[in-house]
Amino acid sequence: MRAGEREPVITIDGPAGAGKTTAARALAERLGYRLVDTGAMYRALAWSVVQAKDLSAEDTPKLRRHLESVEIEVRDGRVHVNGRDVTEEIRTRAIDRMTSDLTTLEPVRAKITPIQRRLAAAGGVILEGRDTGTVVCPDADVKFYLDADLEERARRRQADFRARGVNVELAVARGEIGARDLQDRTRAIAPLRKAEGAKEIDTTNRTVDDVVDEMVRFIEQRCCTRS
């Protein structure tokens, strides 16, 4: 980078189970950049809604009032809601389902998107999610879209749950991911799609190092081209 220039903003989008989070963490470590896990922010918000108990996502006025009282912070890989570390608590199937529903709502997007943009403003950051390159940072310096075949993504999801001590049949994992794909791609607000200019990478049967190597090569090429 030339003196006075900020480091690039990098976005990584793609469907569930494509390996975005794993690749984003490895890439952030390789480059020494800050990682913004946008999905964790939505999960944290979903957790807060579940904790409210008497709050319905369909009750928009009440949901808006609730969102005003929620402060979300992601630092050093840990997720905090109003000062409480909820990193482990947001990784459950119940929160998965609530998150899927909440991400389709305008008040939720209006709460989270400005936070993500503020985190990206200084550069030297990687944002990972569903709409980081299309909605959150459409002017990002480098964009990626990661994908993998459904069977591979289902196996990864099954393995993630198994690592947390939860047994999920492969067919169930496949069905849940298929349903999430449909919802993500057809929702009216910020649908999942490949951002203009994004580098698409199929992670099926590939190692993390192999994927990250390809990403680094593309970043170097794109940044050199713009210099």
Residue whose structure tokens are 């680094």:
216
Say whether pLDDT at 226 is over 80: no
Cβ neighbours of residue 147 under 8 Å, at least 6 residues apart?
14, 15, 18, 200, 201, 202, 203
> Among candidates 158, 108, 150, which has minimal Cα distance to 131?
108
- For residues 5 and 148, the model is more confident at 148
Distance, CA of 101 to CA of 77 (rounded, Å): 24
- The DSSP-derived string for 172-204 is HHHHHHHHHHHHHHH-SSS---PPTTPEEEE-T
Segment 162-186, tens digit of pLDDT:
998 889 999 999 999 999 999 899 9
> Among candidates 20, 17, 5, 198, which has minimal Cα distance to 126?
20
Q: What is the pLDDT of residue 4?
A: 52
- For residues 100 and 207, the model is more confident at 207
Q: What strands, in cross-sheet order, belong to the sheet with 84-85?
A: 72-75, 78-81, 84-85
Q: What is the pLDDT of residue 3?
A: 43
- In the chain, where are the structural domains located? 9-212
**89 phi/psi in degrees, rounded to 5:** -70, -20
Architecture category of domain 9-212 in CATH: 3-Layer(aba) Sandwich (3.40)
Segment 80-98, tens digit of pLDDT:
999 999 999 998 888 988 8
Say whether pLDDT at 47 is over 60: yes
Q: What is the pLDDT of residue 112?
A: 93
